Structure 1
Amino acid sequence: MTAAILRGLLVALLIVTPALMLPGIANDSTQIVILVALLAAVLTFVEYNSVFPSIVEFRDASPFNRLRFGALFFTVFLISAILKGMDQPTNLTLMLTNFGTLIGNTIDFPYSPVRMMVLMLPEDAPEQTVQFVRTASGLAYVISLVAMTLFLILVRILNWPARSGAFNVWVNLPLFDPTAGGDVLERLQRDARVNISLGFLLPFLVPAVVKMAADLLEPITLANPQTLIWTIAAWAFLPASIIMRGIAMGKIADMIEEKRKRAYASVDEDVLQPA
């Protein structure tokens, strides 16, 4: 219960971080953020305090969810700090802005994900907004790449999730039904490939969808800072999270395949033993 409460508080802190850091947030917006944070905290507590899983995957296969949460939290915090530094600069915000500007300018080449984010903005967007989106997008993209690299090291070198003991498919994959039909191994491999492919495409698809919806929605500008922060954070985090899920499901498929080979080899040895 203590661990579930701590997880709920951390999720609530993540949601309210932009509202806490940015100056001049309207009272109505703050109340909505607090309500959403409380709801997310309660849902997280119920999920992790329950014996039976519902929607959270890899609940007992740490540090999968911890790594994803850490990547999202650092993304939101650093983008909020950079945006705050535009009005209230400090040594930390200046350092983050310079670092993000360097990364953003380096990654901002034709057809790159950062360039797609910049092109998402309206044609008449101020130069300050364009520079912030380039800086924040570059920083968020690097954080997502670091998270994926760390998880790949956990899987390939540190043998996740086998190093934590037996892997319970029912607890860690509550949305995956092994009895839905077809071979479980083939379905896991297919889902892994689909997730990895979708994760690579999303950084290019999201800006295009936002650009097409510009006529129906209010353009994303510095006038709505929280929307801008969460848009950039989601643009970087969701593809990384989906790719990590695909890598994880591919690893589970490899574990099942290896276990089957050992089982078949054991059966063959028993059959070939002389009577």
Structure 2
Amino acid sequence: MLVVILIGLPAALVPGRSSDGTQVIVLIAIFAALFTLVEYSASSPSLVEFRDAPPFNRVRFCALFATVLSLSIIFRGYVAPSTLTEFFQMSGAQIGRMIDFPYSPVRLMVSIMPPSATPQYVETMRDAAGFSYLLSLLSIIWFMILLRLQQWPPRGGSFNVWINLPTFDPTSGGDVVKRLRRDGWINIILGFLLPFLVPAMVKFSGYLGAPIRLDDPHTMIWTVTAWAFLPAGILMRGIALTRVARMIHQQRQKASKKAAADRLLPA
């Protein structure tokens, strides 16, 4: 139900979708809900990571939901203004001005707007990008605080690598700890760089003849959300992988010390 509500939020709050577009959104929402249901009810998931290791997926979903909801309220204010939409618009404008400095991710996102865009629509992109980027940073900070408070992954509990990392094969390649650390740092670096790389990729796609139309509010909502959420999610994944690697390393050390105390190690 939460997945269905998430996908339907922009269409419900921001008018302007045709009947055909609404039907497509409903189909996507149903498909996403069925996929989530199957992944969380199956004994072994195929794609969803950290299924049984909260709060990883909870924090990511809450960050995504907050971003989509906030941007939908901002854009609703242009067609149906209210006190709530005015508050979000003013907050987005203040945050956008603070983060919009040379070579910042927000400035790069503003630069992908077409030359024909009106100044008001350029400011709308800046406000939306600034608000969503701030939410992504806050979600990362909140995620790190929860990991510290809950000592995730739990040292005394069980962590099934096969269930929580279905796309990771521990039997292939070299040492598991080294591979997890390597993948974790790659994800952290990629999550840091993506907010700078995505605007360049969007602009380059326009030169190739496949531009992304940002004159539609719904397209802008999902584009800005993906730009802010995907790097944050990848960075969180990198942090989680490094902590799992540390947990496995600590368990190995504990088992080695126990074996040494029981004189089970080879001389």
Quick check: TM above 0.5?
A: yes
Identity %: 51
For 1:90-239, list aligned pairs within 5 A: 90-162=82-154, 165-215=157-207, 216-222=209-215, 224-239=216-231
In 1, Cα distance between the equivalents of 2:116 and 2:90? 25
Q: Please give the per-residue CA displacement for 1:61-84, whole angstroms capped at 9, x wherever unaligned.
A: 112111111110110111011011
CA RMSD of aligned residues (A): 1.6
Contact 1:129 1:221 in 2 (8 A): no
Q: What SS does the aligned partner of 1:162 have? A: coil
Contact 1:100 1:138 in 2 (8 A): yes
Contact 1:121 1:219 in 2 (8 A): no
Letter in 2 for 1:173: L
Aligned positions, number: 264
Q: CA offset at residue 210 of structure 1?
A: 0.5
In 2, Cα distance between the equivalents of 1:131 and 1:138? 10
Q: CA offset at residue 227 of structure 1?
A: 1.1
In 2, Cα distance between the equivalents of 1:14 and 1:164? 35
Q: CA offset at residue 219 of structure 1?
A: 4.6
Q: CA offset at residue 25 of structure 1?
A: 1.3
Contact 2:8 2:26 in 1 (8 A): yes
Letter in 2 for 1:202: L
Q: CA offset at residue 158 of structure 1?
A: 2.3
Structure 1 gap ranges (5+): 1-8
Contact 2:202 2:211 in 1 (8 A): no
Q: State whether structure 2 residue 43 is matched by structure 1 residue 51.
A: yes
Task: Give the alignment's TM-score, normalised by structure 2.
Answer: 0.95
Task: Give the alignment's TM-score, normalised by structure 1.
Answer: 0.92
Structure 1 runs (4+) deviating above 4 angstroms are none
Q: Please give the per-residue CA displacement for 1:50-108, whole angstroms capped at 9, x wherever unaligned.
A: 11211100000112111111110110111011011012110000000101111110000
| Matching residue of 1:254 | 246
Q: What SS does the aligned partner of 1:271 have? A: coil
Letter in 2 for 1:39: F
Contact 1:11 1:41 in 2 (8 A): yes
